[in-house]
């Protein structure tokens, strides 16, 4: 089975004037198809830099990046853009929606760009908007939406081209608990359907949906393991009232 993501001794060093600042220091990470990996760690530990490199939004200093069995760290900017359009969905903390397009078109566009037929793209748009409770907002402009709604649109957009890899950087950073619930539900659903996800998050509710947690510290992986679940009990058994 080909890994969706594989990095070999991945390094990123930023140059701050004359001072080199290592952000990622030799990361070997492998993500299998269908896996949901949460990337956690203190701020400045290199989490965002890592996922940005995986999506080609930041160049690596040294090391290798492989996506779906193909080496990609050597690709040109335009080849990356093509790859992202077809195979990668990206959600950021700030949503980067296209301001002069409706919510619905924002979601539909990536599917069309990735080569889906208009009919398929439309179906995809409708099912995603429905899953995120946004159907009645489809004709609105992004600016008319609340922050929580915009973030849900950004997630729908990232999933529209059915990417082989969904990358997310703090996707629930701006959401209140009700909006978070919708996002959680959709993430859980697409994960169950086999979506591979690599997500940077501080939100424990989101992270707890993952199969695996990778903890970064000082640019290195210090822990990589599965989340143990019990899946039993009522609230009374899980929560101890004193």
Partner 1 sequence: MRLHLLALLAKEPAHGYELKQALEQTFGSAYPSPNIGQIYVTLGRLEKDGLVRAVDVEQSNRPNKKVYYLTAKGRELLTVWVDEPTEGPRVRDEFFMKLVLAPLTGIADRMALISRQRRHYLGLMSDLNDLLSRTPPTDRVAILLIEGAMLHLQADLDWLERCQEDLA
Binding residues (CB under 8 A) for partner 1: these are: 38, 40-42, 177, 184, 202-205, 207-210, 213, 215, 217, 222-223, 225-239, 241
Nearer to partner 1, 119 or 229 (CB): 229
CB of 21 to partner 1, least distance (A): 17
Nearer to partner 1, 45 or 150 (CB): 45
CB of 24 to partner 1, least distance (A): 17
CB of 233 to partner 1, least distance (A): 7
CB of 89 to partner 1, least distance (A): 23
Nearer to partner 1, 119 or 226 (CB): 226
Nearer to partner 1, 138 or 168 (CB): 168
Cα 148 to chain centroid distance, Å, stands at 17
CB of 66 to partner 1, least distance (A): 26
What's the per-residue H, E or C state across the chain? CCCCEEEEEEEEEEEECCEEEEEEEEEEEEECCCCEEEEECCCCCCHHHHHHHHCCCCCCCEEEEEECCEECCCCCHHHHHHHHHHHEEEECCCCCCCCCCCHHHHHHHHHHHCCCCHHHHHHHHHHHHHHCCCHHHCCCCHHHCCHHHHHHHHHHHHHCCCCCEEEEECCCCCCCHHHHHHHHHHHHHHHHCCCCEEEECCCHHHHCCCCEEEEEECCEEEEEEECCCCCCCCHHHHCCCC
CB of 32 to partner 1, least distance (A): 19
Please enumerate in sequence order all residues whose Cβ is within 8 A of that of 145, keeping only pairs 6 or more positions apart, or say none: 103, 137, 153
Nearer to partner 1, 119 or 230 (CB): 230
Nearer to partner 1, 186 or 210 (CB): 210
């Amino acid at each position: 089975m080909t890994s969706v993501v594989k990095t070999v001794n991945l390094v990123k060093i930023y140059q701050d004037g004359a001072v080199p600042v290592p952000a990622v220091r030799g990361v070997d990470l492998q993500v299998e198809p269908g896996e949901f990996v949460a990337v956690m760690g203190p701020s400045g530990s290199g989490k965002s830099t890592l996922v940005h490199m995986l999506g080609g939004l930041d160049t690596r200093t040294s090391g290798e990046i492989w996506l779906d069995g193909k080496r990609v760290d050597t690709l040109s900017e335009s080849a990356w853009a093509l790859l992202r359009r077809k195979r990668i969905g990206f959600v950021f903390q700030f949503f980067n929606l296209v301001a002069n397009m409706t919510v619905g078109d924002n979601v539909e566009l990536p599917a069309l760009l990735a080569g889906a037929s208009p009919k398929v793209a439309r179906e995809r748009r409708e099912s995603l908007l429905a899953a995120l409770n946004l159907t009645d907002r489809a004709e609105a402009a992004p600016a008319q939406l609340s922050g929580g709604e915009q973030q849900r649109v950004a997630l729908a957009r990232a999933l529209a081209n059915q990417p082989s890899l969904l990358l997310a950087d703090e996707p629930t950073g701006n959401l209140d608990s009700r909006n978070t619930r919708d996002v959680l539900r959709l993430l859980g659903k697409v994960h169950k359907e086999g979506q591979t996800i690599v997500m940077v998050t501080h939100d424990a509710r989101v992270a707890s949906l993952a199969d695996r947690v990778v903890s970064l510290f000082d640019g290195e992986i210090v822990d990589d393991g599965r989340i143990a679940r019990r899946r039993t009990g009522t609230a009374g058994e899980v929560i101890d009232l004193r």
